[in-house]
Structure 1
Amino acid sequence: MVAVVVVLITVVAAAALVYSGVRQTRIVVGAEPTGQVVSEGLFGANHRYPFDAFGSLTPGGEPQQGLVASAQSAGISMLRYPGGTVANTFRWNRAIGPREDRGCQTGGGDGAPLDSNIGPDEHMALVEQMGAETTMVVNFATATPQEAADWVSYMNAPVGTSPWADLRAEHGHPEPYGVKWWEVGNEPDVGDQAYWMEQDPTILPTEHPERAHKYAYGGTTEFNDQPLTTDCDRRTDAQISDGSPGQVRQVPYAPVAPDPRVMVDGDVWRRVPTLDGAGPDDTVYTLDLETGEVRFGDGVHGSVPPEGSRLTVSYTSGPHAGYVDFVRAMKEADPDIRVCSSYQGGPFLEAIGQDPAFDCQVSHPYTWIVSPMNAAQTHDHVMMGSDWQAAHVAREQAEIRRTAGRDIPLLVSEYGASPVPGFQTWEEPGGDYLTSVSPALYVATQLAAFAEGGIPAALKHSLVDVPDDHNGDSTSTNLGSRNVAIFSSSPDFAPSPTALVLQMLSPLAGQEVLESTVENGPRRVSAAGQYGALVTLATRTGDNLTLTVVNRDLERDVEAELTLPDGYRRGEVATLDAPHFDSVTDVGIVTDTLSFDADTPRRVFPAHSVTTMTLKKVSP
């Protein structure tokens, strides 16, 4: 389940920076590697396909060069496609080939119709120009393991080994894309993304472990009085008949077990094998049990549902395949890929146990922001949330290892500090808090924990901001709130402070992690709780050692002694510099040379800052 941290601050109290004891704060860096290496995949972003991928591609499907340059500067290493909630019902094979021949998409939220302008090939053109990799989310809600396996073949099979690979070559890309990471669905543990698994989406996963078992191994679900909508538009209002002859409708979650009940304004109509012999007043329909397609009469052969009537269906959905079926089909297409479960939490782990099909797991460790909080209170809430979420991910790793009996990669395919989607009462403190330095400190804290924990990939939500011409709702387009993105919207694609943090930390990719600890570190105490001011990450490559220090206190500098391995005294320092913790403008990276001549070097780390010190080992 998406981990939620909610702190409602109702008392405004003075915050303080409190030191433990009277000793000097000390940062200690060990000389021996921990065995972890900073994965290149940590510096990724969740991305979404609608609206020309949020304007990241031109209307003609070409990557926007301004975004490519900004992403390269920040070191963006991985993009997720086709997104999160919007990916749940995405039909990939409708989004390839000539654009004029492509089919419709249906948003995974309220089911609004979307176009297929940005398909896998357009997405990969953006990825390749950035010099990045990708992770892809397959449709678990309305597709099949075979459809997912065909997608793997389209992306990864060599020409001549699969008709899908040959089709990819016809579309202009003979070489396989080589997509390694795949996810089966997006957040199926969340009620409104349960789809065929749950009749009542308000039931929490912990209250209904049967849903986790269905996700793991498949099954059936009975639905009563479900809207009978169309293939492209599955919003509730689409169940209303427009009175036209020959209406074609879609049962939401095919296949359909025998003996369904299709109703028009509550009256049950009769299923027939063909409309050819029906009279004009016969209240009949045809239904393809495999595809879920329903056809009504044209007024000559079969009656037309009256205009304004409500079309519904009661039926048993299934049998559906489960995660393990997707894994086996997809890995048969390419044994070298990793296929991740996206069902988070203990119920899935209990259901899957030590099944050898369990290949990798997804986590979405968000810190959610809820009213009422001002900017300073929000900062403290978010910093505490970063610690909670880092610990949560570590617990997830341990629980997966314990349950599965082996190491299973944990992919963080979405994370960030964000207002709850659709939570209308929250207003951004200061107007621009989410684009300020404070969320950038959150990202730096998370990346340090992910690097130390051996996370293979982490994708900040999201790459590009909500288009300026959209009001930013949380419907099927899943646009969410503004200002949570790494870059502003088209055409500027201006870097946020978070982009600057990624620019500072992405060069650490490939470096081995060293143990680093903060001794006697100060803690910021606020009305909501307390947290350590300093977070560190130490890495090494060759003769270079980099110490990253995040000072999360919003107003106080921290001086610390540095205990470093022998020989590291000189190098360069870079600091994310800003006037205030909630600054949006006047934020930059300041660089300088660095020399430690004292036996016990010290360094002052400014308030609300990220500092990287890269030291070269010098022989005595």
Structure 2
Amino acid sequence: MKKKMWRTGLCGLTACSMLFTMPALAWAADEPQNTNIDNGLIAYYDFENVNEKKVPNVKDQSKYEGELKGSNVSIASDTIFGKSLKFTEGTEGTMEIPQIMNTSQNSYSISLWFKYDTNTNREGKNTVLLQQSGQGRTFLQFTKDNKYATYVNATNVYSDKTVDLSQWQHVMATYNKDTKKIAFYINGEKDSEKDAGNQVVNELTNLLIGRHKNAGNDPLSMRGLVDEIRVYDKVLTAEEAKAVYESKAGAMLFPQLQETLKEAKELDALGSLDTEAEEAKVLKEAIAEAEKLTAESQLSEISETIKELEEAMKNYRAAIGVVLTVSPTKEERSIEKSTIGINHRYAFNGYGSFDSTKMEMKEEFTDLYKEAGFGSIRYPGGTISNLFRWKESIGPKEERVNQIHGFYNNPGQGGIAPNFGLTEVADFAYRDDIQSEIVYVYGFGRGSAQDAADLVEYLNAPAGSNPGGGVAWADIRKENGHAEPYNVRYFEIGNENNQPGTDGTTSQQYWMIGTQDAEKAYVEGGVASFTKQYAVKKDDWNKAASVSDGTANQVRYMRYANPNPMTGKDGKTLVENFEAVQKGSVEVWVGTDGEGNNHKWEVVESLDNAGANDQKVTIDYRDGSIHFGDGTHGKIPAKGQQIYVTYKVKRDGFVAVSKAMKDMTAEINEINAKSGSAEKASCYVYSSWETKGFIDKMAAGNWNDYYDGLTIHPYCGDPGADQDKGAFYDSAMRLAENVGIQKVKNYVNMLPQGKVPVISEYGIFRSTSPLLRSQTHAVYIAKVLMEYVRLGSPYIQKHCLVDWYSSGADSLGPTQQAVIQAVPQTGANQGTGEGNFRFFSTPSAKVFELFSNSFAKGTKVVGTEFEHVETLANGTKAYSAIASKGDDGTLYVTVVNTDRENDKKLRVKVEGVDLTGKTVEVQTLAGESFVDENSLAEPDKVTIENSTVTAEGTDLELTAKAHSVMSITVKEKVDPPAPETYTVTAKANNNDMGTVTIDPVKDKYNAGEKVTATATAKEGYEFVNWTVDGQEVSTKTTYELTVEKNTELTANFKAKAPVEEKFTVTARVNDSKMGEAKIDPDKAEYVKGEKVKAIATAKEGYEFVNWTVDGEAVSTEATYEFTVDKNVELTANFKKTEKPVEKVTITVKANDSKMGTVKLDPAKESYENGEIVTAIATAKEGYKFVNWTVAGKVVSDKAEYKFKVDRAAELQANFVKVSEDPKPENPKDEDKAVQTGDNGVSPIIPLAGLMLAAGAAVVALRKKED
């Protein structure tokens, strides 16, 4: 290894093996200067003699000794400089130089070399290089778009140029304390000198290398290598800065010459041009001159020769043209029409695209949608979908409930009418002339496992079945007009739920904010707790709309109560025994914001006994609603007061939701199989928690089976101001590669085998530049789209389909990024999407039209390779390509030329095929300029140009226009050569420990074919790794290999270490009004074999029945003791105590049976208290009825006497002869109990107490005393 030398004299040049790009050496044409680079140097670090994290100052070892701190910083050997400082993943690592800087007292120049680790996911953030401690600030960093920057005097100052982070870079920043100016030198050249601001820090600070003083993830810490740190206490001149750079750069230049020479020779050897062609002659001459140089040659001479070689190669290649080879037999992945799609949103009548009067999509919009040919449509959107409840968006429009915006508390944001509901989007998407597959985003913010399973049943179960029990959702779908299942395959659980912030305005974590670990809650679920959270209206969660309106019987809701699963034939009746929030956890407060400004109201069972001023409320635990009084029974909250609620709610996490959906799908497939149907439902579930933490938690919980991939939204960030439109375009293409594509690659590397990235939103974000409506964005989309296809995303959906034509943005982002623009006409309402809108397609929509007419018609992605890829001045690839093959052999080749100024001569080769005489179809989307955009006035200013070209030779020669997207369709069938075949087998190291499978199972496999081997450990054992010939090839249970040779895989297992099993035990009641239940002891988890008691206590008027588990009785003892051996939820069942029914005997007799007959109706042996009975007396001939008496007291003078039983009694009917002139005894008033009147049937008279009535009046008389 080369040792670095401390240079105390004149700078010189030595050779080394590191390659540098030419832009880094643009100054090298000048002759080297003899400049002393020691002048003003106070510290120099070369990292050759670091001892126990102490870094000596080579200039002066008596002071400024550096120290390495943190676990992610170390010394790397064998770098281009010998030993170098190395930063790996983490936020704590730094090198600290003590007490070295005070920018108020001294000027400084600090330089370093660094090589950034480009595998790092930068997430559009800045990265710190040099930072001061204490009150000091960032002295040097590089930004998300690769410019250098400083904040030394509290003003962001940026370099003019960007840097290529894929190569070693040299940077120097000089600060002048007198002028307060900062200068940047990039690879020896002065970039700029600018005002640094006036907020100077007068403090002697430490200098931190590679980390912000406040360790964290924004800005990012350095990743990669750092070396040759120099600190000067003066402002270096441009000449001195150049000399510092030259002291190391020259050593690196000669190897670059060697590599460039090698490339030139290989190009010349191809013989693509006639030897007499001018470009061929110039290239040979340049090669000859380069071969004369050695490592001792002058830097300027080496630099100039490299330039000449590169110029000669550039001209040679231009004469040849861009050579693209398509390999039809190299199949990379399968694709479907649905692979390329769009993100649409239900809100505001689909942003004006839906006619809520006709309840159908508008014709003008539909025509544009059909032109674009989207293969899939994401619904109900992104952030807007997080609180969407699908059950409230189906059925008659007038019965639907306004939905809640994902950022519901922004000013003016109210409830959203779900006119464009689930039925409407499905009816549109599955039209014969549309055929877009639905990708459904489940509203995790207000969802549950049961609700998600119901959704799958509604979408995918056959009508007449009811796989989930309860509501027959498939039948409701049929009633809504769609008898056949929709067969939705793809489900995202939430949208960007990993994004924190303020609930209601910026956060997408909703109920997860109420837990201690939002990421853990998203994965596993848990109890969310909220304290004095303002309560909301059911259909409007905006805080301003949620205050009391002063009316009677107001109802407010707890935002994150669980959704009631509903019952009834129409699914609109609340399930009675459902608990939307935890009972006993609810407190209600009324007042205004601020401690002491609101007061607690009492939660009671009923308001029936509440007074007019009683501050009492009731809670309906079925749906988490809060009910106030009417001013007679319970006080009305004063108008304008806020209602607050404290509560706890147990929420389902991703795992529970996904399991419920997949279980429901399995049930649907069982039903289909039993009915003899070949229909098979699929359910692919993707997480919206876009972090490595989610991936790790799923693996740690052994839950990988419950997710199929991770949704990634690789927005590139803002390309910057668009005054310089060319710079905006160049920045956008750079961001496409460095962020838009690289971010997905990073996640692909993180994901386990078999899991895929899902690109359900992407684009340039957040910029409001009109260039987003131009050809610039169209080229960006095409460039990233083809890479997303290669990276394996099952569907790729641009955000978004339609938005308002404007110059601004809303809380969901800039309106300019929509591929179809909605232009409001007179009377149109952008707040609701009602009214008349006109529509036009942007060039971005034309990109989708081009893809749908070509590439998307293929079923297999096939190989493409450029002979050489030119790098543009902005550091990006000049062109890219992708190709697909249809089942009939038709080839569809798509090429993007991102060079905004130059057309490219293109030569297309099809491997194994002579194209001579073949005619191909060509589609080109370019426009006159990269800034061109469409409008209502000019809807086709940028449109697809169609043409045909006939190949005049073996290859096809075309011109790829600047800033263009081009597709080439070769319809002739290609007969591929027979592929090479190999064997692939798999075995276990011990069949008692585990099993192995291979998919697909074949005798022979084609070269390049993908084979998946899966290892499954048996109980008591665990998987270790896969090996081939004793060498480990994977530690994942599912291993995908590309067939290249005969292969025998061995799955290795080992015995598991014993694990203490733990389970959960919970108790609930069938009705909390009847009793209570608890577990003793009360713990979160119980060890297997532990004794536990479940204790049930009945309330007054009720009695305990039994304990049940999953509906099966397990005990009739109120205290039930059992041994824990699994997760258990016990239900204590109570019933109302029934009082015994009291029965008495009633008899009737006549005073003389000769005179008449008597009977009771009904005639029974005994009667219940309260029963109505009629005594009937019938006089015989010659006699007449007088009255009824009980114990000698007259109770009625009616022959038919109706009364209510309240005791045992004997009634006597008294008759007399007709000839007699009866003179009945006149009893005392207190002995009378006579009924009179003309109604024919006596009123009811209670016997007990001898209650009497005269007509409508009842008089109570005392008993006659003996």
Same fold (TM over 0.5): yes
Distance in 2 (CA, whole Å) between partners of 1:63 and 1:281 is 52
The answer as to whether partners of 1:3 and 1:389 remain within 8 angstroms in 2 is: no
Shift in CA distance, 357/19, structure 1 to aligned 2, threshold 3 Å? farther
Correspondence for 1:422:
none
Any residues of structure 2 matched to 1:25-104 within 5 Å, and which? 25-59=322-356, 60-104=358-402
Please report how far the alpha carbon of residue 161 of structure 1 lies from its aligned counterpart in structure 2 after TM superposition: 0.1
Give the Cα–Cα distance (whole angstroms) in 2 for the partners of residues 602 and 333 of structure 1: 54
| Separation in 2, partners of 1:247, 1:44 | 44
Alpha-carbon distance change, 256 to 2 in structure 1, aligned in 2, over 3 angstroms: farther
Within 5 Å, which residues of 2 pair with 1:98-137? 98-110=396-408, 112-129=414-431, 130-137=434-441
Structure 2 counterparts to residues 259-270 of structure 1, below 5 A: 259-265=585-591, 266-270=598-602
Q: Distance in 1 between matches of 2:970 and 2:162?
A: 38
The equivalent position to 1:309 in structure 2, one of 637, 641, 655, is 641
Aligned to 1:465: 803
**CA separation of 1:499 and 1:292: change in aligned 2, threshold 3 A:** same
Distance in 2 between the 1:407 and 1:2 partners?
25
In structure 2, give the amino acid aligned to 1:160: G
Question: Are residues 1:508 and 2:855 paired?
Answer: yes
Tell whether 2:880 aligns with 1:535.
Answer: yes
The CA deviation string for residues 70-101 of structure 1, in whole angstroms up to 9 with x for no partner, is 22222111111111111111111111111122
- Select the residue among 898, 919, 929 that pairs with 1:580: 929
Change (3 A) 1:619 1:396: closer
How many residues are paired up? 590
Could you tell me how far 1:552 is from its partner in structure 2? 0.9
Shift in CA distance, 126/443, structure 1 to aligned 2, threshold 3 Å: same
Q: Which amino acid aligns with 1:537?
A: I
Residues 234 and 618 of structure 1: is their aligned pair in 2 closer, same or farther, counting only changes over 3 Å?
closer
CA-CA distance at 1:427 after TM superposition: 4.8
User: Which one of 476, 479, 482 corresponds to residue 170 of structure 1?
Assistant: 479
User: Does 1:144 pair with 2:448?
Assistant: yes
Q: Aligned partners of 1:104, 1:19: CA distance in 2, in Å?
A: 65
Q: C-alpha separation between the residues in 2 aligned to 1:70 and 1:550?
A: 23
Aligned pairs for 1:537-616 (under 5 A) are 537-541=882-886, 542-569=888-915, 570=918, 571-585=920-934, 586-598=941-953, 602-616=957-971
Q: 2:463 aligns with which of 159, 173, 179?
A: 159
Distance in 2, Cα, partners of 1:519 & 1:237 = 63
Counterpart of 1:368 in 2: which secondary structure? coil
Q: How far apart are residue 439 of structure 1 and its match?
A: 0.7
Residues 193-214 of structure 1 show CA distances to partners (whole Å, capped at 9, x for unaligned) of 10000149xxxxxxx8x32221
Equivalent-residue separation in structure 1 for 2:913 and 2:465 (angstroms)? 55
Contact 1:444–1:501 (CA<8 Å) still a contact in 2?
A: yes
Where 2:361 maps in the other structure, the secondary structure is coil
Provide the residue aligned with 1:298 in structure 2. 630
Superposed CA offset, 1:122-169 (max 9, x none): 111211221211111122111222112212211211111022111111
* Partner Cα separation in structure 2 for residue 247 and residue 372 of structure 1: 51
Aligned to 1:197: 512
Residue number in structure 1 paired with 2:537: 230
Whether contact under 8 Å (1:72, 1:131) holds in the other structure is: no
Aligned-partner residue type, residue 278 of structure 1: A
Following superposition, the deviation at residue 19 of structure 1 comes to 7.6
CA distance in structure 1 between the aligned counterparts of 2:639 and 2:727, rounded to whole angstroms: 54
Q: CA deviation at 1:361?
A: 2.5
2:1090: which partner in 1?
A: none
The 1:20–1:444 alpha-carbon spacing in structure 2 relative to 1, beyond 3 Å, is farther
Do the aligned residues in 1 keep the contact of 2:910 with 2:955 (CA within 8 Å)? no
- Tell me the residue number matched to 2:734: 384
User: Does the 8 Å CA contact 2:757/2:791 hold for their aligned counterparts?
Assistant: no
Distance 1:619 1:51 in 2: 49
The answer to whether the 8 A contact 1:514-1:538 is kept is: yes
1:344 aligns to 2:690 (yes or no): yes
Q: Shift of residue 531 of structure 1?
A: 0.9
Contact 1:36 1:453 survives alignment (8 Å) = no
The 2-side partners of 1:14 and 1:290 are apart by 60
2:145 corresponding residue in structure 1: 7
Aligned 8 A contact 2:394 2:423 in 1: yes
Return the offset for 1:618: 8.1
Partner of 2:548: 241
- Taking a change above 3 Å as real, the CA distance of residues 576 and 536 of structure 1, as seen in their structure-2 partners, is same
- Secondary structure of 1:523 counterpart: coil
Structure 1 letter corresponding to 2:870: P
Alpha-carbon offset, residue 49 of structure 1: 0.8
Residue 618 and residue 84 in structure 1: after superposition, are their counterparts in 2 closer, same or farther (change >3 A)?
A: closer
**Counterpart contact for 1:249–1:294, Cα < 8 Å:** yes
Work out the CA distance in 2 between the residues paired with 1:371 and 1:271: 55
Which residue number in structure 2 is paired with residue 203 of structure 1?
none
Conservation of the 8 A alpha-carbon contact between 1:568 and 1:617:
no
In structure 2, relative to structure 1, the CA distance for the partners of 1:14 and 1:217 (3 Å cut) is closer
Residues 278-289 of structure 1 aligned to structure 2 (within 5 Å) = 278-289=610-621
Structure 1 partner of 2:817: 484
Bigger strand share:
2
Task: Identify if the C-alpha distance between structure 1 residues 4 and 273 changes in structure 2 by more than 3 Å, giving closer, same or farther.
Answer: farther
Offset at 1:607?
1.0
Contact between 1:43 and 1:75, CA under 8 Å: does it hold in 2?
Answer: no
Structure 1, gaps ≥5 residues long: 201-207, 420-425
Tell me the CA shift for residue 444 of structure 1. 0.7
Quick check: 2:768–2:816 contact (8 Å CA) kept in 1? no
Does structure 2 conserve the Cα–Cα contact (< 8 Å) formed by 1:241 and 1:307? yes
Aligned mates of 1:68, 1:362 — CA distance in 2: 28
Task: Pick closer, same or farther for the CA change 1:195–1:223 going to 2, 3 Å.
Answer: same
Write out per-residue CA displacement over residues 337-367 of structure 1, whole angstroms, 9 at most, x where no aligned residue.
Answer: 2122111111111111141222333221112
Q: Which has the higher contact order (CA 8 A, sep 6+)?
A: 1
Matches for 1:385-464 after TM superposition, within 5 Å: 385-387=735-737, 388-401=739-752, 406-419=753-766, 427-428=768-769, 432-464=770-802
What's the TM-score once normalised by structure 2's chain length? 0.44
| One-letter identity of the residue aligned with 1:322 | G
Tell me if structure 2 keeps the 8 A contact 1:52–1:118: yes
8 Å CA contact 1:20–1:521 kept in 2: the answer is no
Report if aligned partners of 2:768, 2:815 keep a CA contact under 8 Å in 1.
Answer: no
**Are the structure 2 counterparts of residues 82 and 427 from structure 1 closer, same or farther at C-alpha, using a change threshold of 3 Å?**
closer
SS of equivalent residue, structure 2 residue 924: strand
Judged with a 3 Å threshold, the aligned counterparts in structure 2 of structure 1 residues 381 and 120 are, in CA distance, closer, same or farther, namely same
- Structure 1's 259 and 8: CA in aligned 2 closer, same or farther, altered over 3 A? same
